[in-house]
Amino acid sequence: MRLLFTVGGSQAAVFGVAPLAAAARNAGHEILLAADEPLMAAAQSVGLPAVCITPERMRYGQDAMTAAVRLDALLELTRHWAPDLVVGGLSHVPRVLAARLKVPYVRHIWHIAPMARRDRTAVAELQPELERLNVTELPAPDLFIDLCPPSLRPPDAPAGRAMRWVPRVRQSRIEPWMYTRPEGRRRVLVTAGTRNLVLDTPGSSLRRLVDELTGTGAEVLIAALPEAAERFGPELGDVRIGWIPLDVAAPTCDLAVHHGGATTAMTLINAGVPQLIVPDNGYGKAVAEAVSGFGAAVMVDRHRPEAGQDPDEVIAAGCREVLSDPRYAERARALAAEAAALPTPAEVLREVEALAAR
C-alpha cells in the first residue's frame, strides 16, 4: 500500500515520524514524505524519500495562513501519487487532505503540551478550505499515535495508541569517545537543538556554565550546529563542541542541559538521562514541567527569575543538584523503562495497515 507522511515545522517533526515511516518501508509499503524545503536535508539524512511541497517552513499555529498553498501542493502530489492513507502531525492540513481523498487519516504526535484549545481554533480557521474543496465535515483521526510516555501526558490528552520513541537523528562519523564514558569523570551534555546556535545565545552564559561544570571535574559535550562550533569553540576551553549524534552519546551522559525540544527530550528520556531544562518557548516549558514533575529533571525559567537571583547561578546550582542527588537518575531510569515497554513502530504499523485495508 501507499502511505503519505506529512510534516512541517522543525527537523524534530521529521525525526519523530521517521521510525514509523521506516517500519512501513521495511514492511514493503511505498512511502513518501511531504515536507517543506528547509526540512529536505533532514529527511534525506534519515533515509526518507521526501517531496518538497512549499519553499518556506510551516509553523504550528499558522495553518490558516498557509493552508491553501499547502493543500493545493498536496492535492497536486496526490493526483500523481494516490495514497491509501495519510499520516499527519500537529497541522490539521493533512487531515483536510485525507477527508478530501476519502482515505484514512492517522495523527502522529508527541502529546506532552496541552493543545485542545489550539486544535479547535485551527480546525475552525480551516473552514474556508473545507468549503472550497467541498468537504462537508472533518472527521476525527482514524488513529491517534502518541509518542509521549503515559506518565507525562497532560490530563486533557485524547485517548490514543501509545508508541515507543525510537531515536532517529542525522548521523556523523562515529568516534569512540561518543559511545564510551570518560574514566573517572562524569559527563554533561549541553544542547540547544537546531533552532539556536547554542543554549541561551549569545555565548557569555554558555562560557560561565562550561566553567562551572568543568570546575566540578565533569567532561562537557556541546551538541551544536557546525557554525556554532566555529563561532564559539575557540572561547570555550576544553570541551567537545559540534554535531554529536545524540542517540549515540546520550547513554554515556550523567546530565543533559537543553532547551526543551521534543527530539532532544525524548532521546534523553529513552537513554535514561536526568535533565536540566531551560525552555526557550511555551512548548519547551510544557516539556520541562512534565519531565521535572516526574522527578527526572529540573526546570529553570530564565524569563521569570526570582527576585535577587542570578539566572546563570540558578542553572549552575540546578546542575550541581542533579549531579549530586541520585534520585534524579533513578527517576530518569524509571521513565526510560516505561518508554521502552511501549509498542514498537513495527507493532503499531499493523494497526495502520488494518486501517488502510478496510
pLDDT digits (tens, 9 = 90+) for 140-197: 999 999 999 999 998 888 888 999 999 988 887 899 999 999 999 999 999 876 555 5
Residue among 201, 204, 207 nearest 220 (CA): 207
Tell me, rounded to whole angstroms, the distance of Cα 11 from its chain centroid: 8
Which domains does the chain carry? 2-164+342-356 (3.40.50.2000), 176-340 (3.40.50.2000)
Q: Which of 77-86, 168-177, 202-211 has the lowest mean pLDDT?
A: 202-211
Q: How confident is the model at residue 63 (pLDDT cuts 50, 70, 90)?
A: low
Q: Which of 56-60, 73-77, 325-329 has the lowest mean pLDDT?
A: 56-60
Question: Which pLDDT score, from 0 to 100, does residue 202 have?
Answer: 39
* Mean pLDDT over the full length of the chain: 88
Q: How confident is the model at residue 296 (pLDDT cuts 50, 70, 90)?
A: very high
* 108 vs 236: CA distance, rounded Å: 39
pLDDT at 203 over 60: no
pLDDT digits (tens, 9 = 90+) for 23-47: 999 999 999 999 999 999 999 999 9
Helices (H), the chain: 11-26, 40-45, 63-80, 93-101, 116-125, 127-132, 176-179, 204-215, 226-232, 246-249, 262-271, 282-294, 311-324, 326-340, 345-356
HSE-CB at 322 with a 13 A cutoff on CA atoms is 31
Which has the higher per-residue pLDDT, 294 or 137? 294
pTM: predicted TM-score of the whole model, two decimal places: 0.89
Question: Which pLDDT score, from 0 to 100, does residue 199 have?
Answer: 65
Average pLDDT over residues 284-292: 93
Distances in whole angstroms, Cα of residue 141 to Cα of each of 12, 83, 119, 167: 22, 16, 13, 25
